[in-house]
Amino acid sequence: MKYEAPLEHYTANIREAVVGQGEKAIRIGGENTFPFHFFEGSLPDPPGLALEVLDIEPENWVQTLLDPFQEVVSEPVKWAKRCVDVFGAEILCLRLLSTDPMGKDASAKQAAVIAKKVADAIDVPLIVWGTGVEEKDSQVLTEVAQVCSGKNLLLGPALKGNYEEIAKAAMEHGHAIVAQASMDVNLTKELNIALCKFFPPEKIVLDTTSSALGYGLEYTFSIIENIKQIGLIHRDNMMQMPILADFGGECWRTKEAKESKEQGILWEAITGITFLLAGANLLILRHPDTLKLIKEMISEKQ
Amino acid sequence: MILIGENLNVMHKEISQAIKEHDPEPIRKLVVRQTQNGMEYLDLNVGPLTKKPVETMEWIVETVQEFTDLPLCLDTTNPVAMEAGLKICKKKALLNSASGTKESREKMLPLAPKCSAGVVLSVINDAGLPSDADERAASILESLEFTNEIGVPNEDIWIDPVLLPIGVDQRQVSAYLEFIQMIPDLAPGAKSVCGLSNLSYGAPKELKGLLNRTFLVMIGRYGQTSAIVSAFDGELISIKKGEMPEIVNLIYRAMNENDIDLSSLSRKEVEYVKTTQVLMGKSLYSHSWLEV
């Protein structure tokens, strides 16, 4: 008798989100099964792998992280172009750290000018990230939405206290958003319900907030896994958005990552691969070698 | 279902003030209203009573007994106060609560046979709160054996599976439901009880009652024998009096069936169905569960 492996078939789909426009736009999500379960369902879109760009010169970055960006760390446009042209990034994440009210506290207008310059200089999709300070982010991200109208950026994080302003601006100017609720499935659903009252669910990507290997990674893993299970098995349509994991900062803050280049890259790569195995659809990475390593690990060609 | 009124609680400033000043009036009001609303026991949640435990507990119990004939459920973590209170209860009282922890076995549990009281026995043990139904069963079996040995028959044991807020851990609510159905096999003749309002801790204020009432119907169906509830939830009292059979039947249906046609239901009925689905673990809880 021939053995047939028992397979699960799920009747729900994760929504497919599109970031960017034209040929280089990327699609994430769309799967009707669990990560890498090619034998049992369809996973049309490979995970998105983004490289980070900061709008101000990084502070407290180890040399390993600065080396690939020699001479461009204080020029976000050149930094972005290097990520695309030299390191082959297919999507970028611009962090508007200059707007931090506890730091430089640059105005929304100033930040939006930088975002526009970066977006115009590259032909790959762009994620634009605030500082997580609700009031400031709602000014900054709405300004960015307007200045970059029509570019289909991915704007985040939209939080409980500012999702309305950010989502409305995103909708008006044709962008997608990242809805962030920290490490809690119930609050994730809560935010999604609130958003979906006026915002299209296919333009939402979820962020559960992420921890690094050795520093709480398993909590993030469980939450991501749980959201995917609730979406696919329980068919909860408020939990069927693709998921983003943003952990570069967490990884490179660890003493292990700082010890050596090899260990740092591995720390970030293992954290990233683990989140892909949990079900993340989009990773934001800090070191280009991590991007290369993860790409190799998940590509079909060996 | 035996309802125990929860409303006399030292967490309310008025009550803590009344106890401190030995002013019977605020206590009288609460006791009379709860008695009128059909409660069968009154829970006296008086806190740890660190100062003058004996004198204070005696004053509270005597004051309450002036205004009601209902049996009392004494709720303090202080064994000295507990003993003083149990001794002067006119009717067979309930000790609320004991558990399987070493400290409880040594100091609290022995007061039940000593004072001829019933005892609320929770599934907690020295390892904390069991995480699922089977672990609850294992924990309570051990505690039951000990409790029986010191002279308390199952009939006087009120098992508390410990109800956690649904917003904290929905899986614990499912574990609770699974566990209460096991109780008749684990402890024939024993009663079961919970602090119902804990379920909705953290939920939007206007929706707490809906969660509590729906869950009361569900656990009643699964054989739970009593609950500590708010005596001031009029709809809950109506359900208890059998005045809302359609809602009760609808909750039963929502427990059994997955696809209930909501289009033919009233808004209130829809709310009960959605709440049942969340409490059964069929859909993920969020504070806006009624809006999806």
Q: Sheet harboring B94-98: ordered strands across?
A: B191-192, B157-160, B118-122, B94-98, B72-75, B41-45, B2-9, B226-229
Tokens at B105, concatenated: 């076995």
pLDDT in tens, B157-190: 999 999 999 999 999 999 999 999 999 999 999 9
Question: Hey, are the CB atoms on B284 and A189 less than 8 Å from each other?
Answer: yes
pTM: 0.88
8 A C-beta contact, residue B18 and residue B27: yes
Mean predicted confidence (pLDDT) in A252-257:
96
pLDDT in tens, B77-112: 999 999 999 999 999 999 999 999 999 999 999 999
Nearest CA in chain A to B169: A186
DSSP state of A127: E
Q: If you search the block for the tokens 């002067």, which residue do you land on?
A: B88
Question: Hey, are the CB atoms on A193 and B167 less than 8 Å from each other?
Answer: no
Residue B73 parent element (H or E): strand B72-75
Question: Hey, are the CB atoms on A193 and B284 less than 8 Å from each other?
Answer: no
pLDDT band of A5, cuts 50, 70, 90? confident
Residues of chain A with Cβ-Cβ distance to B170 below 8 Å are 186
The separation between CA A111 and the C-alpha centre of its own chain, rounded to angstroms, equals: 20
Whether A1 shows a pLDDT value over 90: the answer reads no
Tokens at B60, concatenated: 């509270």
Smallest Cβ–Cβ distance between B283 and the set A187, A197, A236 belongs to A236
What pLDDT was estimated at residue B292?
Answer: 87
pLDDT in tens, A122-180: 999 999 999 999 999 999 999 999 999 999 999 999 999 999 999 999 999 999 999 99
Alpha helices (runs of H) in A122-247, residue ranges in sequence order: 134-147, 163-173, 185-196, 217-232
For residues A23, A29, A35, A38, the Cα torsion angle rounded to the nearest 10 degrees is -60
- Report the share of chain A in percent with pLDDT over 70: 99
Whether A261 shows a pLDDT value over 50: the answer reads yes
Residue A7 parent element (H or E): none
What is chain B's mean pLDDT, rounded? 97
8 A C-beta contact, residue B137 and residue B176: no
Question: Hey, are the CB atoms on A186 and B282 less than 8 Å from each other?
Answer: no
Question: Hey, are the CB atoms on B287 and A190 less than 8 Å from each other?
Answer: yes
The β-bridge relationship of strands A26-29 and A48-54 is: unpaired
CATH topology for the B2-233 domain = TIM Barrel (3.20.20)
CATH number of A46-298: 3.20.20.20
Q: Is the ipTM of this complex over 0.90?
A: no
Domain map of chain B by residue range? 2-233
Residues of chain A with Cβ-Cβ distance to B287 below 8 Å are 186, 190
- How many degrees, rounded to 5, is the angle at CA B150 between CA B144 and CA B154? 40
What pLDDT was estimated at residue B40?
Answer: 98
pLDDT in tens, B37-75: 999 999 999 999 999 999 999 999 999 999 999 999 999
Min Cα separation A211/chain B (Å): 21
Closest among B22, B42, B25, B151 to B91, alpha carbons compared: B42
Cα end-to-end distance, chain A, whole Å: 33
Q: For residue B72, what are the contacts with CB-CB under 8 A and spacing of at least 6?
A: B41, B42, B43, B44, B61, B64, B65, B85, B89, B91, B93, B94
Q: If you search the block for the tokens 């390892």, which residue do you land on?
A: B127
A230 part of contact set with chain B, CB < 8 Å = yes
Question: Hey, are the CB atoms on B288 and A234 less than 8 Å from each other?
Answer: no
**Cis peptide preceding B97, ω within 30 of 0:** yes
Dihedral pair phi/psi, residue A190, rounded to 5°: -55, -50
8 A C-beta contact, residue A2 and residue A10: no
State whether residue A48 is helix, strand or coil.
Answer: strand
Angstrom distance (rounded) from CA B146 to CA B86: 21
Residues of chain B with Cβ-Cβ distance to A190 below 8 Å are 286-288
What pLDDT was estimated at residue A302?
Answer: 44
Angstrom distance (rounded) from CA B112 to CA B212: 29
A179 part of contact set with chain B, CB < 8 Å = no
Distances (CA, A) of B243 to B246, B247, B251, B252, B262: 9, 9, 14, 16, 23
Angstrom distance (rounded) from CA A166 to CA A151: 15
DSSP string for B103-167: HIIIIITTHHHHTT-EEEEES-BTTBS-SSHHHHHHHHHHHHHHHHHTT--GGGEEEE--PPPTT
The separation between CA B154 and the C-alpha centre of its own chain, rounded to angstroms, equals: 18
Q: What share of chain A is helix, strand, coil (3-state, %, to 5)?
A: 45, 15, 40
What pLDDT was estimated at residue A131?
Answer: 98
* Residue A140 neighbours by CB distance under 10 Å: 28
For helices A134-147 and A163-173, angle between their N-to-C axes, nearest 10 degrees: 0
Residue B15 parent element (H or E): helix B13-21
A233 part of contact set with chain B, CB < 8 Å = no
Tokens at B78, concatenated: 């202080």
Mean predicted confidence (pLDDT) in B212-223:
98
Nearest CA in chain A to B166: A186
Nearest CA in chain A to B290: A193
Mean predicted confidence (pLDDT) in B140-156:
98
Tokens at A247, concatenated: 């952990």
State whether residue B173 is helix, strand or coil.
Answer: helix
The separation between CA B266 and the C-alpha centre of its own chain, rounded to angstroms, equals: 30
Query: Which site among B164, B284, B288 would you substitute to test the A interface, given the most A Cβ atoms closer than 10 Å to its Cβ?
Result: B284
